[in-house]
Structure 1
Amino acid sequence: MAECLLTIDTSTPAGSVALSRGDELVGEVLLNLRSTHSDRLLPAMQQLLREAELSLAELDAFGVVLGPGSFTGLRVGVATVKGLALATGKPVVGVSSLQTLALQAPYPAYPVSVWLDARKQEIYAGRYHWEGGLPVALDEERVAPPEVLLEEVSEEMLFVGSGAVAYRSLIVRRLGSRAHFVPWPLQQPRASSAAALALSAFRNRETIPLEVLEPRYIRLSEAEIMLAKRPADSPIEG
């Protein structure tokens, strides 16, 4: 019987939930709204399961986008999946938000450069090519200013992601005709794309023990940055 997965993406404000059965998308809820993920995540999950006439106990696994992305959003998504996995005993697989976005540019003629807006004039970035029906990373995911990333581009490149939207004029100014972009509906990660990656990971038995399931932030949080700046002999309050 085909594997049934519920996959959650809260890496950006456009949070989404997908229900899949094998290689078939049963349903997806995507809302790019001002309300928080904690407000709309559970209702979206309940809606999908109710319409599909499925219970949590009938699922085979949970998929979750681990990051990079919004620190708060990622924490909500991972915590929700941890709770569901503990309650049901179902396994969890985690996927990358950048690889999820790369999946939305299938079989391009050029390498795919995924840019997710990291704020603070920085980009979460990764480059991919297609192999075996899925995007495969060409380098390590990282965070860097857009100008630094563009200095390393010497060939034609397909850009995807909110960072590509935010810095499109800069990209075109630097690369000219070497820069290509996916259509706007494909510029934000979708749980349905993450579900395809989650299914592949589940079939390869790449499940994650709950005790080590954590968001993948890539860069330090504000609290960690402030702690690193504190002098070694500074007293710790509390």
Structure 2
Amino acid sequence: MPVLAIDAATMVSSAAVATKDRLLAEVVMQLKKPQSEVLMGHIMDALAIAHVDKSELTGIAVNIGPGSFTGLRIGLAAAKMMAYALDIPIAGIRIDEVLAYHYPVENIYSAAFVDAQKGNVYFSLQKWDKGCLQTVREMTVLEMAEAVDICEGMDRPVVAMGDVVQRRPDEFARCLNTRPALPHHIMPRAANTAFAGIHRLASGRCDNVMTLEPLYIRRSEAEELWEKRRKEQGKN
């Protein structure tokens, strides 16, 4: 039975409908359009193209980040609203897992480089082993150069993915062990979110629709500014 996947963690707005062994439909757009304006349209388009009614859905999968604070909130709100209204299970998928589904092969590492602002990246390493995705290095915030150096020190080739890789491919020019992914594999897509979600839901690992939250790792700029102002006011 079909699962709907939603991905709004980055500049990519994407929705997909898939079953265990088939991608029925996917809508992907990477333009400077607010997720609030386009995401619901993409969800409805994906369902229409797949000829699937909302009542036929058996689950929802959503990219929970880290990534764009606004995009994550919009994507998760849409996913939770639909899961609650349709009374179907929901699965939150981390962005590094979504990216790793581009290259589900052994003998390489998948590296996630996601914009964390101020010249930093959300960075993690994943690998596939006998059909199972394993975390080699947990997601953390690092400087770009440090993350690249970690990849270069690995014992097998590394494929780099994420919005930072798309914007700064020259960072990998000096690398012998690390290569940016192909253009159509460099950003997260709802198709990957769908298949990761199908696997998660089939194993019974669904999330609580009421408590599922975005994976932020760090605080937003607004929160950091508020904390700074609060401390300054406390000194006066």
Check whether TM > 0.5. yes
Residue 147 of structure 1: aligned partner: 145
Q: How far apart, CA to CA, are the structure 1 residues paired with 2:31 and 2:168?
A: 22
Deviation at 1:44, TM superposition (A): 1.6
Structure 1 counterpart of 2:45, one-letter code = Q
- Residue 155 (structure 2) pairs with residue 157 (structure 1): no
- Hey, what does 1:48 align to over in structure 2? 46
Are the equivalent residues in 1 in contact too, given 2:126–2:133 (CA < 8 A)?
yes
Q: Distance in 1 between matches of 2:171 and 2:19?
A: 41
Residue 231 of structure 2 is matched in structure 1 by 231
Is contact 1:157-1:179 (8 Å) kept? yes
1:2-151 correspondence runs (5 A): 3-107=1-105, 109-151=107-149
1:103-139: CA deviations, max 9, x gaps?
1123153322221223321111110111232432112
Q: Distance in 1 between matches of 2:132 and 2:21?
A: 13
Instruction: Supply the RMSD in Å over aligned alpha carbons.
Output: 1.9
- Note closer, same or farther for the CA distance 1:130–1:46 as it changes in structure 2 (3 Å cut): same
Which residue identity is paired with 2:86? Answer: T
**Offset, 1:180:** 2.1
Distance 1:233 1:90, change over 3 A: same
**Partners of 1:63 and 1:214 in 2: how far apart?**
13
Contact map agreement 1:112 1:160 (CA 8 A) in 2: yes
Which range moved further: 181-190 or 102-111? 102-111
For residue 138 of structure 2, give the secondary structure of its aligned residue in structure 1. Answer: coil
Q: Which one is further off, 107-116 or 37-46?
A: 107-116
Under a length normalisation based on structure 2, what TM-score does the superposition of the two structures give? Answer: 0.90
Percent of aligned pairs with the same amino acid: 27
| Equivalent-residue separation in structure 2 for 1:51 and 1:107 (angstroms) | 30
Q: Report 1:179-218 matches (<5 A).
A: 179-218=178-217
Q: Deviations over 1:47-79 (max 9, x none)?
A: 222233322111101110000110000000011
2:201 maps to a residue whose letter is F
